[in-house]
């Protein structure tokens, strides 16, 4: 099933695709090694209970948490259908793998702000912070927009196979282009921390200025309530598929201020830092790609802060 990031072959293979393939397989292998001795995982929440439950980011994290990638995709489809949300399916397949993106359009305008949350997870990880919580934030926003749409056009891209070199977003850009995109934010690890990080922001752009202004409008101060970080050498996410096509595109992540220095060292020198710290990683990377990435490690206030940040960007652009 394509929603499960299964194997598939296609034409049009380039060296860049081979690099993404090798990097994705390495990431999957590392995750399997990290989680090789994990205890029997907790069963996922009953889907009907989630569908009938509260529509908050923390509660909706249970929609995907602990499920296989095939089940995560199916659960997301079921939630959208149950809420009567129109969406498009975009199936893709290359030699790297196959899956399906789900796309929701709200608001009106010639160009869209694209908000991305991938629905897949690495093997043997419940995938709560990475990245069920990001999907949950966008679903909670959709619920709020049911009675009042945003004043601008917003495209929600629930991408597949991000853990395989953000394959789903690359396939989307390849198939649809970026001529109608005004800017992109991809949500990653939104549930741990008391500040926000906008990353892969190497150069000033009008869109980055808008994001900064929106965050400051929430009372967040630069280098305290939010941080702007240049390109990160090892870690990446879906926005990079759009950035490669020339669109201003950034990652958005929650980070704990108390661990800011350790985080900076880790994200720019992950192997060296991990060796120095005896294999320990600073939050939120202490649970990243592990069996400990559960909803009970998430902070509802961090999820709400990320949600308000997205709303503020949309309001500022409007």
269-288 pLDDT, tens digit each: 887 776 777 778 999 999 99
Pairing of strands 181-187, 112-116: parallel
Total domains in the chain come to 1
Q: Place 11 in a pLDDT band, splitting at 50, 70 and 90.
A: very low
**Is the pLDDT score of 4 beyond 80?**
no
pLDDT at residue 30 in the model: 63
CA 49 to chain centre: 24
- Per-residue confidence at 18, pLDDT binned at 50, 70, 90? low
Residue 50 φ then ψ, to 5°: -65, -40
The residues facing 228 across adjacent strands are: 198
Question: Quick one: 127 exposed, middle or buried, by C-beta within 10 A (0-12, 13-18, 19+)?
Answer: buried
Q: Give dist(CA 271, CA 30) in Å, integer.
A: 13
Residue 12 has pLDDT above 60, yes or no: no
- Average pLDDT score over residue span 32-45: 74
pLDDT of residue 133: 98
Give the 3-state secondary structure of residue 123. Answer: coil
pLDDT greater at residue 27 or residue 179 = 179
3-state secondary structure of 133: helix
How high is the pLDDT of residue 7? 58
Q: Calculate ∠ Cα 212-135-100, nearest 5°.
A: 115
Give the pLDDT confidence score for residue 20 in this predicted structure.
Answer: 65
For the chain, percent of residues with pLDDT exceeding 70:
88
pLDDT per residue as tens digits for the range 102-113: 999 999 999 999
Handedness of CA 277, 233, 304, 191 (dihedral sign): negative
Structure tokens at 61: 């994290």
| Distance (Å) of CA 96 to CA 5, 33, 215 | 9, 21, 37
**Helix 15-34 vs helix 167-176: crossing angle, to nearest 10:** 150
Q: Is pLDDT at 9 greater than 50 in this prediction?
A: no
Whether residue 21 is predicted with pLDDT greater than 50 in this model: the reply is yes
pLDDT band at 254 (very low <50, low <70, confident <90, very high): very high
CA dist., res. 223 & res. 276, Å (int) = 26
The residues facing 250 across adjacent strands are 185
Is a pLDDT exceeding 50 seen at residue 66?
A: yes
Edge-to-edge order in the sheet of strand 112-116: 88-94, 97-106, 153-158, 112-116, 181-187, 249-255, 195-199, 226-228
Task: State how far the alpha carbon of 128 is from the alpha carbons of 57, 97, 124, 299, in Å.
Answer: 11, 23, 12, 12
Least confident of 6-10, 195-199, 237-241: 6-10
pLDDT at 40 over 70: no
The candidate with the shortest Cα–Cα distance to 105, out of 123, 125, 87, 93, is 87
Confidence of residue 42 (pLDDT cuts 50, 70, 90): confident
Give tens-digit pLDDT for 126-178: 999 999 999 999 999 999 999 999 999 999 999 999 999 999 999 999 999 99
Please confirm whether the linkage preceding 166 is cis (ω < 30° from 0): no
Average pLDDT, the chain: 91
Domain that holds residue 292: 2-317
pLDDT tens sequence across 164-176: 999 999 999 999 9
Residues 303/252, Cβ–Cβ less than 8 Å = no
Identify the weakest region by mean pLDDT among 17-26, 168-177, 239-248.
Answer: 17-26
Closest CA to 254 of 163, 154, 133: 133
pLDDT of residue 24: 63
Structural contact between residues 238 and 116, judged by C-beta atoms closer than 8 angstroms: yes
Question: Burial, 293: exposed, middle or buried (Cβ in 10 Å; 0-12, 13-18, 19+)?
Answer: buried
**Residue 163 main-chain phi, psi, to 5 deg:** -70, -5
**What mean pLDDT do residues 255-273 have?**
88
For the residues 111-117, what does the mean pLDDT come to? 98
> For the domain that residue 180 is a member of, what is the CATH number?
3.40.630.10
């Amino acid at each position: 099933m394509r929603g499960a990031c299964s194997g598939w072959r296609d034409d049009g293979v380039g060296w860049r695709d081979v690099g993404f393939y090798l990097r994705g397989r390495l990431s999957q292998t590392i995750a399997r090694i990290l989680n090789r001795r994990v205890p029997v995982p907790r069963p996922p929440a009953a889907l009907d209970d989630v569908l009938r439950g509260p529509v908050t980011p923390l509660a909706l994290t249970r929609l995907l948490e602990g499920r296989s990638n095939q089940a995560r995709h199916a659960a997301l489809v079921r939630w959208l259908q149950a809420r009567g949300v129109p969406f498009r399916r975009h199936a893709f397949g290359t030699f790297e793998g196959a899956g399906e993106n789900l796309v929701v359009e709200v608001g009106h305008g010639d160009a869209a702000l694209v908000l991305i949350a991938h629905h897949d997870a690495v093997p043997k990880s419940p995938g709560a912070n990475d990245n069920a919580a990001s999907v949950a934030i966008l679903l909670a926003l959709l619920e709020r927009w049911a009675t009042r749409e945003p004043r601008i056009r917003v495209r929600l891209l629930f991408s597949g196979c991000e853990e395989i070199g953000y394959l789903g977003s690359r396939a989307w850009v390849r198939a649809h282009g970026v001529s109608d995109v005004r800017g992109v934010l991809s949500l990653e690890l939104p549930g741990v921390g008391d500040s926000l990080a906008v990353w892969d922001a190497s150069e000033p752009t009008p869109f980055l200025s808008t994001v900064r202004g929106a965050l400051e409008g929430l009372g967040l101060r630069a280098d305290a309530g939010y941080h702007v970080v240049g390109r990160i050498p090892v870690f990446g996410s879906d926005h990079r598929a759009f950035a490669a096509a020339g669109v201003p595109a950034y990652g958005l992540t929650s980070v704990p201020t108390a661990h800011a220095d350790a985080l900076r060292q880790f994200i720019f020198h992950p192997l060296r830092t991990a060796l120095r710290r005896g294999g320990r990683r600073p939050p939120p990377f202490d649970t990243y790609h592990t069996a400990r990435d559960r909803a009970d490690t998430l902070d509802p206030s961090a999820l709400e802060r990320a949600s308000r940040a997205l709303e503020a960007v949309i309001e500022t652009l409007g």
